[in-house]
Amino acid sequence: MRLVVTGGAGFVGSHLVDKLIFSGHEVVVIDNLITGSDRNLTLNKNLTFIEQNVAEYIDVEGKVDWVLHLASPASPADFKRIPIPILKAGSMGTINALGLAKAKKAKFLLASTSEVYGDPQEHPQKESYVGHVDCTSPRAAYDEAKRFAEAVTMAYYRFHNIDVRIVRIFNTYGPRMRTDDGRVVSNFVTQAIANKPITVYGDGTQTRSFQYISDLVEGILKLMESSYHLPVNIGNPHEFTVMELAKIVKRLTNSESEIIFKPLPEADPKCRRPDISVAKNILKWEPKVELQEGLKKTVEYYKSLKVGSA
């Protein structure tokens, strides 16, 4: 197959691209490198890279079987720093990517997010939960962009008969997250390796459920193989407090770091855990990599970057 992957130079996108290339497919990556890096792309005759913002009209020559729309900054640190590019990637970017799928008669996959549930009042979160998002909070740039992205994807499905998939991705970690990404796993691991203070925001009682990148890639591929067009949660339902994560990372790295407290970012969700019944029943998917195992691989990655050495 020939697939277009927007955001293919990013953390999730590049792992997916690697898997597609490994499986013998041809891939065209479109990425403006706002948070991705061309270092994430391995040179291959089946890989073409177009450096472009998806919020601008996109065109690709030749046949296209799939458009996988993953382009968007995804760290809460980015929500504050670059909210307008995020809103454009989720709105205009999704329309452009859907337009490409329509023109090429290609199938379409949207990378959506657990952030569509906001600060959830239902726990764990099922796909049927409509969410609890404050549309004027600093997080809204990402949350509302992705909610709009889902809405426009469903409109193209209903109105133009585009064959769509929507994956709601829960907290995911692993190699290739930027060291300055700002999300909790990359922050804690890089801080611990460098023996710098581990920064817990708030009192650390808020929870998240952490999924290793290879599990997410498997989930996306299974969703593509299915014919299910409604949103599907892909995440690891094993839930931890942020303080538990800090202690696990500190222990795994034999770190001398102290754990310090910083203010909780505005609108930070208090809890998050996916209900993955739909993925289990329809895709026959469930995550395989437990937190300690995935963290060990992530620690090795950051050590190989010489994080923390002078």
Output the CA torsion sign for 15, 20, 21, 26. negative
Q: Could you give the residue ranges of the DSSP H alpha helices within the chain?
A: 11-22, 76-81, 83-90, 92-104, 140-160, 184-193, 213-225, 242-252, 277-278, 291-304
Other residues' Cβ atoms within 10 Å of the Cβ of residue 288: 12
Whole-number Cα distances in Å, 138 to 141, 144, 153, 204, 284: 7, 11, 24, 20, 36
Residue 8 makes contact with ligand UDP by CB under 6 A:
no
Residue 88 makes contact with ligand UDP by CB under 6 A:
no
Closest by CA to 202, choosing from 236, 245, 238, 256, is 245
Residue 206 makes contact with ligand UDP by CB under 6 A:
yes
Residue 233 makes contact with ligand UDP by CB under 6 A:
no
- Structure tokens belonging to residue 220: 């996306």
The gap between the terminal CA atoms of the chain, to the nearest Å, is 45
Residue 49 makes contact with ligand UDP by CB under 6 A:
no
Q: Which of 171, 190, 214, 236 binds ligand UDP (CB under 6 A)?
A: 171
Q: Which of 88, 147, 208, 229 binds ligand UDP (CB under 6 A)?
A: 208
DSSP states of 199-221: EEETTS--EEE-EEHHHHHHHHH
Q: Select the span of 22-30, 37-45, 60-68, 182-190 touching ligand UDP (CB under 6 A).
A: 182-190
Rounded Cα gap, residues 279 and 85, in angstroms: 31
Shortest Cβ 207–ligand UDP spacing (Å): 8
- When the beta carbons of 83 and 265 are compared against ligand UDP, the nearer one is 265
Residue 187 makes contact with ligand UDP by CB under 6 A:
yes
Q: Is 256 in contact with 196 (CB distance < 8 Å)?
A: no
Q: Which residues contact residue 265 at a Cβ distance below 8 angstroms, ignoring those fewer than 6 apart?
A: 76, 138, 201
Residue 125 makes contact with ligand UDP by CB under 6 A:
no
- When the beta carbons of 99 and 265 are compared against ligand UDP, the nearer one is 265
Residue 244 makes contact with ligand UDP by CB under 6 A:
no
Q: Which of 49, 129, 148, 201 binds ligand UDP (CB under 6 A)?
A: 201
Q: Which of 104, 146, 183, 229 binds ligand UDP (CB under 6 A)?
A: 183
Residue 69 makes contact with ligand UDP by CB under 6 A:
no
Q: Is 118 in contact with 135 (CB distance < 8 Å)?
A: no
Number of residues that bind ligand UDP (CB under 6 A): 14
Establish whether 301 is a catalytic residue. Answer: no
Residue 177 makes contact with ligand UDP by CB under 6 A:
no
Q: Which of 58, 141, 184, 213 binds ligand UDP (CB under 6 A)?
A: 184
Catalytic pick among 57, 129, 142, 228: 142
Residue found by looking up tokens 């209903």 in the block: 158
Shortest Cβ 244–ligand UDP spacing (Å): 11
The burial of 85, by beta-carbon neighbours within 10 Å (0-12 exposed, 13-18 middle, 19 or more buried), is given as: buried
Binders of ligand UDP among residues 249 to 268 (CB under 6 A) are 264-265, 268
- When the beta carbons of 179 and 199 are compared against ligand UDP, the nearer one is 199
How remote is the C-alpha of 216 from its chain's centroid?
9
Rounded Cα gap, residues 284 and 113, in angstroms: 20
Shortest Cβ 186–ligand UDP spacing (Å): 8
Shortest Cβ 178–ligand UDP spacing (Å): 12
Residues marked as catalytic:
142
Contacting positions for ligand UDP (CB under 6 A): 76, 171, 183-184, 187, 199-201, 206, 208, 242, 264-265, 268
